[in-house]
Chain A
Amino acid sequence: MIKKFVYSQKVAPYVFVLPFILIFLIFWFFPLVNSFVMSFQDRMLGQDPKWIGEANYSKLLTDKVFLTAIKNSVVYMLGTLVLLIPLPMLFAVMINSKLMMGREFFKSSFFLPALTSVAVAGTIFRLTFGEMEGSLMNSFLGLFGIDPIKFLKDGNWSMAALLILACWRWTGVNMLYYLSGLKSIDNEYYEAASIDGASAWQKFRTITMPLLKPTTVYVTTISVYAGLAMFTESLMMFNGNNSPKNIGLTIVGYLYRQGIEQNKLGYAAAVGIVLLVIAMVINLTQLKFSGMFKKEED
């Protein structure tokens, strides 16, 4: 009887998606709701929660360290957008052009940094940006007569170091996204433009860029997400969650500090909710302005 029920064509789809429903409810929906509830509480692991209303949020508004964390995360995110969208797009167009040689070789070698773990990549860059005269970056700058820089003690330099790390790891991946976007552009457009005497730049601006828009929207969305949620890169670069004057502190770093290191679960949950709201607002605005919602029915 039960067997017949489970085997019926009406019930089977629910059996198939059941694991998702369970995991979604237990490990995603419940923690998310819990996070929301916790953000209105004063709460520590293993103790009874105390309801305190919006006190965590009003405290966050005046929390200077939190504002530093937001600033760092937003600057990092904007930096990755400015660097990791136009350049990979351009590289993809170049590597795709008929003038290019050794395409497969460059494609795969640019991908290699993405294979490294953040633990390894962070270590490599921590040592590259060492403050000593002989470290990789300083000895390079020394060639131009520039004095050694203490990269990880100055806010602007350490942000630059974090962004260089991001570029090193993700340029190749974003380039791959653009290459697969380029594959879907019909060659006829370019032929027609050539007949009209369009220059390479005109073709890029009027054909390639607009037709790559779905890819750009996708890359922007994941970059906003990843940029705002950055934490482990900074954790590795500064050898822990503490950096001089919090120059490397990100929103998730602050959440981790409050929730895990100091056991202030309620306050950390409020940080998480603020991060969620920022990420949602930016991404939904971005998706709305790029007209992605209209195209969703397929």
Chain B
Amino acid sequence: MGRSQTRSDFISRIVIICLFIVLFVIIMIPFYAVALSSFKPGESLVRYGLNLSLDFEIMSFDNFIYLFTGQHDYFVWFWNSMILTIAQVVLTLFVSAFVAYGFAAYDFKGKNFLFICVLLIMMVPFEILLVPLYSLINDLGMVNSYSAIILPGIANAATIFFFRQYLRSIPKEIIQSGRVDGANEYAIYFRLIMPIMKPSFAAMAILNGMNSWNNLLWPFMVLGDQSKYTLPIGLKTLLTPYGNNYDLLIVGSFFSIIPIFILFIAFQKYFIDGMTAGAVKG
């Protein structure tokens, strides 16, 4: 019995590991193909699409040289994305954590109702608000501004939810002791609570940063001015009905993933904490 048990364990182990290696290869193929294609001339992409052929005769660093020295707006988009992402993350985190503390630390009239509103935002597809929201920012004269991208999301429901869950595990005695020491409610939050929230700030900074860096639809609608385009919008405009600038597109796509990859490798734990927040109750 014992021996057949270990043998079947051994076979299961081989099967599982082989399966995961196959899945790993499938998942990596697109990355590999993009990395490979960024060394190939654009016309090869037009003719063959993405492929895995290692054709050293046509491969060169030309696309990379073009990316760094050519006449195009790529680094303007890159810079815009940086600025927008940083502004969005800082403001969203600051406001959402502030709000979450209100929900976690106090009992007040209307709290349940307001919290249901938080949950409602999480349940209604943002996309249905595209048209009225667009006409609203049009009326407010905010078209073409980064504030129109940032403002609607600064009290981000999912982020508030995460911070509130996190804050509920902080002992109420800290708040009490702050009051005994004569600190006012806001000083308690800013001096005592915010420092404790550091790990949750890291998790949410990374998740919000990733979403902001990758966001396409709403910024695409808001920004009409080319000089304000972000990276995803810029990459999208390289695909036109009249022809596609694959030379820049493919190497630009490849290059746009790299900052997030580096962040991910450095802060894996926070990515995963942020991602799985709220998935399981507790």
Contacts and interface: CB of A to CB of B under 8 A. Distances in A.
B8 to A, nearest CB: 10
B160 to A, nearest CB: 7
Contacts of B236: 119, 236
A190 interface: no
B79 to A, nearest CB: 17
Contact of A173 (B48, B184, B249, B275): B275
A120 B257 contact: yes
Interface in A1-16: 7, 9-10, 12-16
B130 A97 contact: no
Most buried by B among A15, A102, A180: A180
Contact of A38 (B19, B30, B132, B260): B132
A6 to B, nearest CB: 9
Contact of A23 (B50, B155, B264): B155
A136 B272 contact: no
A57 interface: no
The winner among A28, A179, A260, A269 for most chain B CB atoms within 10 A is A28
Nearest to A287: B123
A159 interface: no
B191 interface: no
B27 A123 contact: no
A146 interface: no
A255 B127 contact: yes
Interface string A188-205: 000000000000000000
Interface residues of A, number: 104
B129 A272 contact: yes
Interface in B143-188: 151-152, 154-155, 160, 184-186
A239 to B, nearest CB: 5
Main secondary structure, interface of B, reads helix
A298 B281 contact: yes
A232 interface: yes
A35 B132 contact: yes
**Which of the four size classes fits the interface of chain B?**
35 or more
B20 to A, nearest CB: 5
Contacts of A248: none
Interface in B44-61: 45, 47-53
B65 interface: no
Contacts of B47: 132, 134
Interface string A112-156: 111111111001111111101111101100000000000000000
A19 interface: yes
B279 A218 contact: yes
A130 B131 contact: no
Interface in B69-105: 95, 98-99, 101-103, 105
A75 interface: no
A177 B276 contact: yes
Contact of A229 (B99, B125, B135, B216): B125
B114 A20 contact: yes
A161 interface: no
B264 A279 contact: no
Nearest to B239: A239
A214 B213 CA distance: 30
A89 interface: no
Given A130-B48, A239-B241, A31 B136 contact: yes
A269 B27 contact: no
A171 to B, nearest CB: 8
Nearest to B129: A31
A239 B239 CA distance: 7
Contacts of B260: 115-116
A272 B276 contact: no
Contact of A112 (B27, B53, B130): B27
B226 interface: no
Given A13-B108, A115-B210, A118-B232, A27 B257 contact: no
What are the nearest 4 A-B pairs in CB distance? Answer: A16-B102, A130-B49, A135-B49, A117-B214
Interface of B: 9, 12-13, 16-17, 19-20, 23-24, 27-31, 33-34, 37, 45, 47-53, 95, 98-99, 101-103, 105-108, 111, 114, 117-118, 121, 123-136, 138, 151-152, 154-155, 160, 184-186, 189, 210, 213-217, 221, 231-233, 235-236, 239, 241, 244, 249-250, 253, 256-257, 260-261, 264, 268, 271-272, 275-276, 278-282
10 contacts: A16-B102, A16-B189, A23-B95, A106-B23, A120-B257, A214-B280, A215-B280, A265-B131, A272-B128, A279-B123
Interface of A: 7, 9-10, 12-17, 19-24, 26-28, 30-32, 34-35, 38, 45-46, 91, 94-95, 97, 99-102, 106-120, 123-130, 132-136, 138-139, 168, 171-173, 176-177, 179-181, 184, 214-215, 218-219, 221, 225, 228-229, 231-232, 235-236, 239-240, 252, 255-256, 259-260, 265, 268-269, 272-273, 275-276, 279-280, 283, 298
